[in-house]
Structure 1
Amino acid sequence: MTSVTDTSALLIDRIHARHGDAVRIGTGCDLADDVEFVIDPDATITLGDRVSIRRGTTLQANTGGHIIIDDDTAIGENVVLSAMTHIRIGRGVGISNMVDIHDHNHRPRTHDTLTTDQPITPWASGFDAAPITIEPGAIISNKATITAGVTIGQNALIGANAVVTTSIPPNSTALGVPAQVKDRHPGPLDPRHPRRQLHIGWFGTSLMEHYEAHHPRLSTQADLPAVGEQIEVTEWRHRGYVHALTTRWQSSYPWITITTDNRGEGGATSRDVLVNVNTAVHGGGRWDLAFLGVGINDIWRHHQGRMSEAVGIDEYDTNIRTALALLSEATRRIVVIGEPPIGWDPAIDVAAANRDLLEYNQRARRAADDHHAQYIDLWDDITYTATCFGWSPTTPTAPTRGEPSIWSDGVHLSEYGDDLLHQIVARHLSDHRIHDGLLTLDRFDRATAARRYHVAR
């Protein structure tokens, strides 16, 4: 009688004879004799050690596609894996029967995806594609479907018949159509598996920069300086609403490493910010999410009479559009943050300056729309809160000493203003599911996806 090991060895020999170096199979693998390997030119399939694949399963690596299955993974019956970019399955993953994993799908049939001389065929409009990753220890239950761009986190459990269209965090259970997280079950994560990364860039003025003088003892609870003790400033650090948002996002997505590239500059006009964006992009900067907020200094300098530094509205429009065009080449998502009103400044006509600032904000909104960027309008929320604190937009004056205010000095934000910006930006990103969207890879036409997601074997 022929053993399972003998049958698998004979099958592996046949696979190698047919596909040569396009397939690599590790030691101790157990493959049913009807497992189908479909490998197009410039495509590969790699199996680690002790991989088990049951009957009726198809592994299809289309031209330029790669399937990588790591050690100790078990794949059930009648499963289909089809890759045009790449599908990666981590160590110890369990995939049950009749699961479908495609890293691509048909594009809609439109005038942009078809030419008039093409015959009517199922593939005439081409395909959109993005890699799929199933991290170590995940379990995919019967008849689940995993779609392009999705990452299934470590130890995640995907329920039967689920359709996974967005990435699922580790140590969670996702059910339904579309699949949503219904439960969390803390478990050990494989330290050898690389953590996901999100890189966030900030380009703007002192509202983003928000430097704070600091010494480590000032925030070390076990070694706080005594009242009256002199402490030397040893560093400047970014704080304000940008710091608060980063802290919030990191605690909300603990399985992701979130890094912040804060290029805010005190006193910057749109000219200065454009230089900063240009330097960052051409210096190789790349961001998953970038924020752009500028305009208040362009106007403030004009009303201060510093005309050589002031930036007129047409130049401002050109500057912000150029910055958005540059960022579009280096960033997956862009958010433009409108400027808040000025609170007070005895040296200028604040009401007139704020009227100008509203016009600049409208230009920023239109530029954001034209570059497919999100726009966050701060004006109404800032004005509402400020008036509740006693401020008047028609006769803007400094608050009575000790009274709360949005502004610390009439232009820069107080702790109340920073917290309000934190709330507004966090709410907008949550309502539009910006971060969740970034965790699922963007889909592109097949040729673009091949360039964007190319990996060496």
Structure 2
Amino acid sequence: MTSVTDTDTITTIDRIRARHDDAVHIGTGCDIAADVDIIIDTDATITIGDRVSIRRGTTLQANTGGHIVIGDDVAIGENVVVSAMTTIRIGRGAGISNMVDIHDHNHRPRTHENLAPGEPITPWASGFDAAPITIEAGAVIANKVSITAGVTIGQNTRVGANAVVSASLAPNATAVGVPARVVTRTPGPLDPEQPRQQLRIGWFGTSLMEHYEAHNPRLSTQADLPDIGQQLEVTEWRNRGYVHALITGWSIHYPWITILSDNRGEGGATSRNVLANLRAAVDDGGRWDLAVVGVGINDVWRHHQGRHDEAVGIDEYDTNICAALDLLTNHARRTLVIGEPPMGWDPSIDVPAANRDLADYNRRARRAAEDHRALFVDIWDDITYTATCFGWSPTTPTAPATGAPSVWTDGVHLSEQGDEAIRQMVARQITTHRILDGLLTLDRLDRATATREYR
């Protein structure tokens, strides 16, 4: 190993600065081996913080439009390769051991779409997909680990030797294997200056999703509860129901993530209204990691109530939900469509006939979801099963006796049991398909799109 004295360090850093000028920034007190290879292409940069150590044989390559950012007090071992087409960030105090490979890009498949006619056979002919990589403060990466595009490795997390990190890892964890999986978690201090990762979830639907509850803060403040019989003024509406329960559960399951819930459910909304709400949200710059759509019950209900101006026929419903999913293709990373539950009772309409129509609308929603590569959650059978166990009949639907359990409060809106049933079904599908886990790893996009989207 080449010994690095103060004079050698100055010579090495001066050589790097002279070669790359403003494209490189190197802080104070750095220890960089003489044979470290720094490659910076057009419109690319490398930023190295203070007191960074980079040992022999390591390569830092910022490809055209790519950026490498290394925080203070980082130690990088021997024969490490860091190659960026978008951005690779290594947080302060992180340790990267020998022969680690960090690439924020991959070769695209050799398909007709990715190869120009007559293109020579070269390793790069099909182009690249790319997504930023973040190694957060205090993380330690052992020998011969490979870290792939889009991954975030949380603060203080340790990755065992020879692992392949292809999905993001939580902070304060130990991960091993191919692919790397968390095997232990330990509490530890997090850097307050490290921004928390965020997931934004948008909800577009009816009152089943909106689920407003009249509230006064004293009603839930244990140290200041009102006396029985005391009158309080309603001071706010708050969203509750299955959406609130899901967000609460996810915030506990992923405590290192800030989950932002953008609930745009609207009481009485038909697919017409939901589409208009979504368009307004998109016009306001709305973008979501996960968008959830649930609509149809009011389209049918209004028809059976004789409110034909508000009702939405099944063909228009099909058009509306497809238009909504078209919009979300470009404004949400993943989309989930929740089927509507059956109606329980309504003395003013023929409920079995309305439910037959609503089942047809759900079939259209399922087909639209499949056509748009969205996940469809069918809640009909589970709600029906639970309701019948509570004593409800789908052929002769009537309101339950006072105090009897029910999945509905008024025959259409959900009770706590109904909300819990939907929460369980949605949570199960989200977990089975690893939706939130997948969203923690950034999507790999073609190189040009990645450069633009992740700038």
Give, in whole Å, the separation in 1 of the partners of 2:6 and 2:164.
35
SS in 2 for 1:168: coil
Matched with 1:50 is 51
CA 1:401–1:97: 2 relative to 1, 3 Å: same
* 2:424 corresponds to 1:426: no
**Alpha-carbon deviation of 1:5?**
1.8
SS in 2 for 1:367: helix
* 2:369 corresponds to 1:368: yes
Give, in whole Å, the separation in 2 of the partners of 1:452 and 1:2.
42
SS in 1 for 2:450: helix
**Alpha-carbon deviation of 1:328?**
1.9
Give, in whole Å, the separation in 2 of the partners of 1:275 and 1:219.
35
Matched with 2:117 is 116
Q: Spell out structure 1 runs of 4+ moving beyond 3 A.
A: none
Matched with 1:104 is 105
Give, in whole Å, the separation in 2 of the partners of 1:5 and 1:453.
38
Give, in whole Å, the separation in 1 of the partners of 2:18 and 2:268.
68
Give, in whole Å, the separation in 1 of the partners of 2:316 and 2:372.
17
* 2:448 corresponds to 1:453: no
**Alpha-carbon deviation of 1:66?**
0.5
Unmatched tracts of structure 1, length 5 or more? none
Is this contact kept in 1: 2:345–2:412, CA < 8 A? yes
Deviations along 1:78-111, one digit per CA (max 9) or x if unpaired, are: 0000000010000000000000000001111111
Give, in whole Å, the separation in 2 of the partners of 1:141 and 1:5.
28
SS in 2 for 1:149: coil
Deviations along 1:101-145, one digit per CA (max 9) or x if unpaired, are: 000011111111112310111111111100000000000000001
Is this contact kept in 1: 2:82–2:102, CA < 8 A? yes
Letter in 2 for 1:296: I
SS in 1 for 2:113: coil
Give, in whole Å, the separation in 2 of the partners of 1:205 and 1:92.
48
Give, in whole Å, the separation in 2 of the partners of 1:337 and 1:345.
23
SS in 2 for 1:410: coil
Matched with 2:63 is 62
Identity, % of aligned pairs? 73
* 2:165 corresponds to 1:154: no
Is this contact kept in 1: 2:339–2:378, CA < 8 A? yes
SS in 2 for 1:329: helix
Is this contact kept in 1: 2:33–2:56, CA < 8 A? yes
SS in 2 for 1:352: helix
Matched with 2:445 is 444
Matched with 1:348 is 349
**Alpha-carbon deviation of 1:31?**
0.6
Is this contact kept in 1: 2:158–2:173, CA < 8 A? yes
TM-score with structure 2 length normalisation?
0.99
Give, in whole Å, the separation in 2 of the partners of 1:402 and 1:185.
46
Matched with 1:402 is 403
Matched with 2:127 is 126
Is this contact kept in 1: 2:4–2:31, CA < 8 A? no
Deviations along 1:214-256, one digit per CA (max 9) or x if unpaired, are: 1111001111111111111111111101110110011111111
Deviations along 1:365-413, one digit per CA (max 9) or x if unpaired, are: 1111111111110001101111111111111111122210111000000
Q: How does 1:245-256 map to 2 (within 5 A)?
A: 245-256=246-257
Give, in whole Å, the separation in 1 of the partners of 2:137 and 2:68.
15
SS in 1 for 2:112: coil
TM-score with structure 1 length normalisation?
0.98
Give, in whole Å, the separation in 2 of the partners of 1:409 and 1:435.
33
Matched with 2:333 is 332
* 2:4 corresponds to 1:10: no
Worse-matched range after superposition: 284-293 or 161-170: 284-293
Matched with 1:40 is 41
Matched with 2:233 is 232
Matched with 1:136 is 137
Matched with 2:78 is 77
**Alpha-carbon deviation of 1:2?**
8.3
SS in 2 for 1:112: helix
Deviations along 1:242-279, one digit per CA (max 9) or x if unpaired, are: 11011001111111111111111101111111110010
Give, in whole Å, the separation in 1 of the partners of 2:133 and 2:340.
39
Give, in whole Å, the separation in 2 of the partners of 1:4 and 1:286.
51
Deviations along 1:263-305, one digit per CA (max 9) or x if unpaired, are: 1110111111111001011111111111111000000000011
Deviations along 1:177-202, one digit per CA (max 9) or x if unpaired, are: 00000001111000001011111111
Letter in 1 for 2:219: L
Give, in whole Å, the separation in 1 of the partners of 2:361 and 2:91.
50
Matched with 1:299 is 300
Deviations along 1:405-448, one digit per CA (max 9) or x if unpaired, are: 11100000011001111111111101111100010000011111
Is this contact kept in 1: 2:4–2:33, CA < 8 A? no
Unmatched tracts of structure 2, length 5 or more? none
SS in 2 for 1:203: strand
Deviations along 1:135-171, one digit per CA (max 9) or x if unpaired, are: 0000000000100000000000000000000000100
Letter in 1 for 2:139: A
Give, in whole Å, the separation in 2 of the partners of 1:437 and 1:33.
40
Give, in whole Å, the separation in 2 of the partners of 1:2 and 1:164.
32
SS in 2 for 1:347: coil
Give, in whole Å, the separation in 1 of the partners of 2:339 and 2:366.
8
Give, in whole Å, the separation in 2 of the partners of 1:17 and 1:230.
76
Give, in whole Å, the separation in 2 of the partners of 1:161 and 1:175.
8
SS in 1 for 2:119: coil
SS in 1 for 2:395: coil
Give, in whole Å, the separation in 1 of the partners of 2:218 and 2:36.
63
Is this contact kept in 1: 2:31–2:53, CA < 8 A? yes
Equivalent residues, number:
454
